[in-house]
Structure 1
Amino acid sequence: MKLKLIFDEIVAEIELADTPCAKAIFEAAPFTSRVNLWGEEIYFATPVAFGLDETAKEVVELGDVGYWPDGKALCLFFGKTPISTPSEIRPASAVNIVGKILSPLEDLKRVPEGLEVKVEKA
């Protein structure tokens, strides 16, 4: 399962995991949302409501895609957040790991706060 995230001229592709939370996000597409930035993390609201599952982590890897239940949001981790340490990337709170970013992470650094994102099945 893949999703295409369209941020105006920047297009990112993500590969979703085979989990119930990831499937719910895939099934919700297409939808649009607005970009929020938190350090080098893009997050945006989804129409999906899901709790923490067995994939939940408080420390993520570079390129992970998370689902943040507190904000019903998809999170793209392409660098450090404000509460990261030099050796780890930390979300605001635990996220379900729902996939990986396939596109170059450098592209995501050019996405501005407040931009509309279109989420489509790839």
Structure 2
Amino acid sequence: MRIRILWPAGQATATLATTPTTEALLAELPISSTAETWGEEVYVGTPVSVPREGTARQVVEPGTVAFWTDGDSLALPYGPTPISRDGECRLAAPCNVLGLLDGDARVLRTVRSGDPVRVERA
């Protein structure tokens, strides 16, 4: 399953695994929201509310597509956050891992807090 994430300065696609959270997200697409940034991570609010899955992780690779259950948001890290150690991508809390961005995750550097974001099926 693939999604497209669009914002004023760019776009990215991602390939998602089949998980309960992915299924809940796909059922709500398309989503229009506002971006928030935290270090080198982009958050996109969604209308999805799901529990944390047993495979949730806090430290992930750049380009991971995750779902922050505490904030009902997609979490898209592309580098260190304020709580990272040694350059890792450390999310605010363990998040459900959905998949990976296709290509270079650093494209997310062009996302600014307050940017309108659309998430749709690719």
Q: From the superposition, tell whether residues 58 and 9 of structure 1 become closer, same or farther in structure 2 (CA, over 3 Å).
A: closer
TM-score using structure 1 length: 0.94
State the Cα distance separating 1:77 from its structure 2 match.
Answer: 1.0
* 1:113 corresponding residue in structure 2: 113
Q: Could you list the per-position Cα deviations for residues 70-113 of structure 1 after superposition, in whole angstroms to 9, with x for gaps in the alignment?
A: 10000111101110001532111110001111132221101111
Query: Is the aligned partner of 1:20 residue 2:20?
Result: yes
Q: Show structure 1 runs of 5+ residues with no match.
A: none
User: Residue type of the partner of 1:47?
Assistant: P
State the Cα distance separating 1:14 from its structure 2 match.
Answer: 1.0
State the Cα distance separating 1:17 from its structure 2 match.
Answer: 1.1
Please, which moves more after superposition, 11-20 or 99-108?
Answer: 99-108
Q: Name the CA distance, whole Å, in 2 between partners of 1:42 and 1:23.
A: 21
5 Å-filtered alignment, 1:9-88, equals 9-86=9-86, 88=88
Structure 1 runs (4+) deviating above 6 angstroms are none
TM-score using structure 2 length: 0.94
User: Residue type of the partner of 1:73?
Assistant: S
* 1:90 corresponding residue in structure 2: 90
8 A contact 2:9–2:111 mirrored in 1: no
What's the C-alpha RMSD, in Å, of the aligned pairs? 1.1
Aligned pairs, how many?
A: 122
User: Residue type of the partner of 1:27?
Assistant: A
8 A contact 2:49–2:69 mirrored in 1: yes
Same amino acid, percent of matched pairs: 38
Structure with the higher fraction of residues in strand conformation: 2
Q: Show structure 2 runs of 5+ residues with no match.
A: none
Query: Is the aligned partner of 1:99 residue 2:99?
Result: yes
User: Residue type of the partner of 2:44?
Assistant: F
